[in-house]
Amino acid sequence: MSQHIQQPVDEKKMNELLRQKKSRMKLCLAACAGCSLCADSCFLFRGHDKDPRYMPSYKVVHSLGTLYRRMGRVTRAQLEEMKELIWRNCVLCGRCYCPFGIDIPYMIAFARRILRTQGIYGMYPHTVGGPEAERRDSASPQGG
Amino acid sequence: MSLLYELARGPLVWISVLVFLCGIAFRARQLFSLTSKKERIFCPARPAEKGSQSLPLTDEKKIERIVAFQNWLVGKNPVMAIISFVFHGCLFIAPLFALGHSLLVYESWKIVLPSLPDGLIDFLTIVLLACGFFFLMRRMFVPRVQAISSAYDYGVLFLTVVPFLTGFFAYHQWFDYKTVITLHMLAGEAMLIAIPFSKIGHMVFFFFVRILVGSETSFWRGNRTWSP
């Protein structure tokens, strides 16, 4: 993890992807009226004492929304914060419901894709084979 | 003020209407270009179960209906759903059917538009302002709404409500009439211009996505899809 934090953000790679779906994503972000009616459709929001950080629109606005607003000019620390939102706080179950018909899971999946270009991956406790798991394995005395 | 008044009742009306119409057309075109026609899938129709329509309402069906209702927005968040519906209804009806607006159209182009009684429009305006106040309070004090609110969101709400507030003042002749009516016209024009280019653009997005894009949440089977 610390290795990644040291790396500078590759704006070029990120902007390439951001531009690829700019029209659709910006349109969807602009259509979000911030009504928060998507909140109750997320079981993680309901299961975490209605913590707004688990709300579907919060996850999108503070990840993809920030990336588009700053057009990739973000720090690695900000990307790490986004990682928490779009991996730990979302399982991409696709059950979130937007009254305007915005495809929230699609946007979160796209935000994940952008973060992957920076070597940022979501790590689940038992993930095997991911970059962090590989490093952990190689660092341990038993690891290969 | 009189120059601003002349501007607001003359060229600015045309500019705002033109920007509004062109903006809506641009957004619609953008939505069409971002989606593509869905491939039609032919499925053989399932033979209808005999007498399925006349089956008595079993407990299973009752539960199914209760679950469907609870998953529906009105079942999940009835207060917000009803207030939103009423707010948007008033937003369309009050300006389109106000007698004052119809008279202006008649005086300009001799076109008679339908209108509703002044008392009713006044009532709808008060309802709209009350709903607007509810949204403001919600944005300020409900944590989940507060978490995704920025100055921009407050600005959009302000932009939506001000034409109605000034219209209400103008109708009741409160404060200086000429100032209030000028503000009313300017606020209405600002709102028209903002519709296609701001969050109020959900007006176009909502109808397009819910009607034309086929998905689980569409009103009916749409014939377009987001995927290229």
Whether B41 shows a pLDDT value over 90: the answer reads no
Which residue type is seen at B18? L
- What is the ipTM score, two decimals? 0.77
The reply to whether B180 and B226 lie within a common domain is no
Interface contact flag, B144 A27, Cβ < 8 Å: no
Nearest to B202 among A31, A39, A61 (CB): A31
pTM of the entire structure?
Answer: 0.81
The reply to whether B183 and B217 lie within a common domain is no
The alpha carbon torsion through B165, B167, B172, B176 (nearest 10 deg) reads 90
Q: How many CB pairs under 8 A join A and B?
A: 81
Examine residue B27 and state whether it is found in any structural domain, yes or no.
Answer: no
Q: What is the DSSP letter of A48?
A: T
Helix, strand or coil for residue A23? helix
Contacts of B142 in chain A (CB under 8 A): 36
The reply to whether B138 and B205 lie within a common domain is no
Examine residue B78 and state whether it is found in any structural domain, yes or no.
Answer: yes
Whether B55 shows a pLDDT value over 90: the answer reads no
Examine residue B28 and state whether it is found in any structural domain, yes or no.
Answer: no
> Looking at the 3D structure of chain B, how many domains does it have?
2
Alpha carbon distance A83, A106 (integer Å): 16
pLDDT band at B108 (very low <50, low <70, confident <90, very high): confident
The reply to whether B86 and B174 lie within a common domain is yes
Examine residue B210 and state whether it is found in any structural domain, yes or no.
Answer: yes
Q: Are A8 and A74 in contact (CB under 8 A)?
A: no
Mean predicted confidence (pLDDT) in B110-125: 92
pLDDT band at B189 (very low <50, low <70, confident <90, very high): very high
Alpha carbon distance B168, B39 (integer Å): 50
Whether A17 shows a pLDDT value over 50: the answer reads yes
Write the CB contacts of B6 (distance below 8 Å, at least 6 apart in sequence).
none
Contacts of B30 in chain A (CB under 8 A): 23, 27
Examine residue B220 and state whether it is found in any structural domain, yes or no.
Answer: yes
Whether A5 shows a pLDDT value over 90: the answer reads no
Whether B20 shows a pLDDT value over 60: the answer reads yes
Q: Which of A25, A54, A100, A106 to mutate to test the interface with B (most CBs of B within 10 A)?
A: A100
Examine residue B171 and state whether it is found in any structural domain, yes or no.
Answer: yes
Examine residue B7 and state whether it is found in any structural domain, yes or no.
Answer: no
Q: What percent of chain A lies above the pLDDT cut of 70?
A: 81
Range of the domain at B215: 198-228
The reply to whether B102 and B184 lie within a common domain is yes
Examine residue B40 and state whether it is found in any structural domain, yes or no.
Answer: no
> What average pLDDT does the structure give for chain B?
86
In this prediction, residue A44 carries a pLDDT of 93
Mean predicted confidence (pLDDT) in A62-73: 90
Mean predicted confidence (pLDDT) in B142-167: 94
